[in-house]
Chain A
Amino acid sequence: MRFTKALLAAGIAGTLALGLATAAQAADLMAIITPSHDNPFFKAEAEGAQKRAQALGYDTIVLVHDDDANKQMERIDTAIARGAKAIILDNAGADATVAAVQKAKAASIPSFLIDREINVTGVAVAQIVSNNYQGAQLGAQQFVKLMGEKGNYAELVGREADTNAGIRSQGYHDVIDDYPDLKMVARQSANWSQTEAFAKMESILQAHPEIKGVISGNDTMAMGAWAALTAAGRTDVIVVGFDGSNDVRDSIRQGGIKATVLQPAYRQAELAVEQADQYLKTGKTGQPEKQLMDCLLITPDNAGKLETFAMK
C-alpha cells in the first residue's frame, strides 16, 4: 500500500538525513505531519491530505509526532531539510507548537494547520478546525435527550494541552449544565486514548455504579469506555462520542454507542492541501487564517452513510 510505504520511507529519510531524497525529486514536496495513526481520525487526515497533494502533482512525506512536542520539532526539521514547499500539520499542543511553526516559517516554509489550532495568529498561513463548539452542542443535546434530561453521568476529557479538549467540554457543559437533574459524578482526562479510557471507565464504574451515561471528548475514548462497560455487563449505559470514526459508526449500528459527532476530517485535510497549493502558486489562500468547518450529529438514522470521516 502506497500509504504505508510513504510512511516507512519518511522514517528512513528522517534517520539517514538529506542525501537520499533530494536527488530523486522532480515535483515539489509537501510534508504531512499528524499525531499517531493508531487513531483512525489522524490516519484519515493523513490519507486525505496525501491523496489530494498527489492529485495536485506534489510528492509527499507523511510523518507522525505521537503528540510529543520534541518529536514534532524533529519532524519539522526533517521537512525543512528535505526542502518541503509546504507543511500540513495536525499539531502536538496549542502552545508548544508555536515555536515549531515559527521555525518552518523562518525557513520560508508555510504551514497549514488542521484539526487543532495554536494560540497565536500570523505564524501559520491557515488554521482550519472543526466547529468543535457547535459539534459539542449537537452531541450534548442528543445526550440530554437520550438521558431523558436526568441521571448521573461521567465525562471523559481529551488531552488538556489541546484546545479541542477544552472547547468540546465547554460545548457539552453549556448545554448539559442547564438541566439540574443531570449530575456529573466524574470528570477525568483519558488523553484521547482508548486504553486510558478503558482503565478510567473501570475505576469510575467502581466508584459510581449508578452511572447512567458517559459523554466523551472523542471516539477512541468512547470506544475504550464502551469496552469497559461491556466487560462489566453495563451495556445499559448511554455513551456519546465525538469524531465520527468507522468504529463508532459500527457500534452505533449495532446498538452499542448511541451517537457521535462527525468532524469532516477527510475534507478538512483536502482543503488544507488545496489552500497550500493556491498559496504556493499565488501567494495567498483567499481565506482568513482561522477557519471553521461545521460538524454533523451521527445517530442510527444516518450512521449508514458515514465512511472514513465523510458522508457518502
Chain B
Amino acid sequence: MAPSRRLAIAILAAGLPLAACKLVKNEPPQVASAAASGSVATSFDNPAFDPEKTVEEIWQPKLLPYLKAKAGPFAEVRQAVQSSPDEAGKRFGYRAVGSMPWTVAATIEGKITAADTGTRAATIEVDADGDGTADLTVQIGPVFKGTALRDSIDFISFNSFANQIEYAKFGKTLNAHIYDTTLAALPRDKLVGRKVTLLAVFTLDDPKAKPLVTPAELSLEAAP
C-alpha cells in the first residue's frame, strides 16, 4: 500500500468519529401508521428519522474518500481474501464487531460478460482478469441483497441509531442512493461486452464464493 493511502486512512480515522456525533438522535421513538410508501407499520416507526438526509450529507464528502482510501485493486483484494480473510479485512475493509464478517472495498476494471436484468434484483457479471470468465457479480438494483455499503463504514456505527429498524433503513437508503444517482440510468439491454469501472464493496460471509459486490461508483465506457 502506498504511504499516501495509509496517511489518508489515518486522517480519516482520526477525524471521522467527531463527524458521526451529530447522527445521534434523542427523540423518543414514536408510534406511527404505515408510511405513505406503503411499507408495513411497526411499533417503532419514527417519522423524525431521516436516513436520506444523512446519506446525502456523507456520500460525497465522507463515504467516497473513505472507500477510495480503503480499496485495493480487485486482483490484490481477491488474492488477500483467499489467503486470509482476516488479513484482507484488516487491510482493505472493516467490521464493527468480531462477531460479524468483514466487508472489504475494491477498485475494479473489467468487461461485462453477462447481465441478468429480468429481475428487480438485477446483476451483471464482470471479467476482471481478462480470461473471458466472470470473476465477480455486481448488484445493479433496484433491489439489493445485504447491507455491504453500510457494513463497510467505520465512521457511523449501530450505536448511533435508536434500534435495528433505523439501522436497517440506513443500510437500505445507502443502496437506494447508488441506484438513484447512477445505476437507474444504465442502458440495461446494452451492457454485455462493455467495459466497466467500479468502486465497490463486498462482505466476506463466504470468502470462497464469487464476490457479490455493491457499487459505490460505477462508470461504463462509451459504447463502441
Contacts and interface: CB of A to CB of B under 8 A. Distances in A.
A121 B159 contact: yes
Interface in B121-173: 121, 143, 145-147, 157-159, 161-165, 167-169, 171-172
Contacts, number: 98
Contacts of B168: 133, 167, 170-171, 174
B14 interface: no
Contacts of A167: 42, 163-165, 168
A141 B98 CA distance: 26
Interface in A28-56: none
Nearest to A118: B163
Given A163-B164, A292-B96, A170 B39 contact: yes
Given A174-B172, A178-B120, A166 B99 contact: no
Contacts of A173: 39-40
A95 interface: yes
A185 to B, nearest CB: 14
Contacts of B147: 133-134
At the interface, is chain B mostly helix, strand, loop or mixed? loop
B42 A133 contact: no
Contacts of B172: 174
A160 B42 contact: yes
B164 A291 contact: no
Query: Number of contact residues on B: which range applies?
Result: 35 or more
A288 B158 CA distance: 9
B205 interface: yes
Contacts of A271: 99
Contacts of B40: 169-170, 173, 187
A311 B57 CA distance: 41
A140 B99 CA distance: 23
B171 A133 contact: yes
A214 B79 CA distance: 43
A243 interface: no
Interface of A: 94-95, 117, 119-121, 128-129, 131-134, 137, 141, 160-161, 163-167, 169-171, 173-175, 177-178, 187, 271, 287-294
Given A120-B162, A167-B163, 17 more contacts: A94-B44, A95-B29, A119-B44, A133-B168, A161-B43, A163-B164, A163-B165, A166-B42, A167-B165, A170-B42, A174-B168, A290-B161, A292-B97, A292-B99, A292-B164, A294-B99, A294-B100
Identify the 6 closest CB pairs spanning chains A and B, nearest first: A166-B42, A133-B168, A290-B158, A291-B97, A160-B43, A167-B164
Interface of B: 28-29, 38-40, 42-45, 96-101, 120-121, 143, 145-147, 157-159, 161-165, 167-169, 171-172, 205
16 contacts: A94-B29, A121-B159, A133-B164, A137-B146, A160-B43, A166-B45, A166-B165, A167-B164, A167-B168, A170-B40, A170-B169, A173-B40, A177-B39, A291-B99, A291-B158, A294-B99
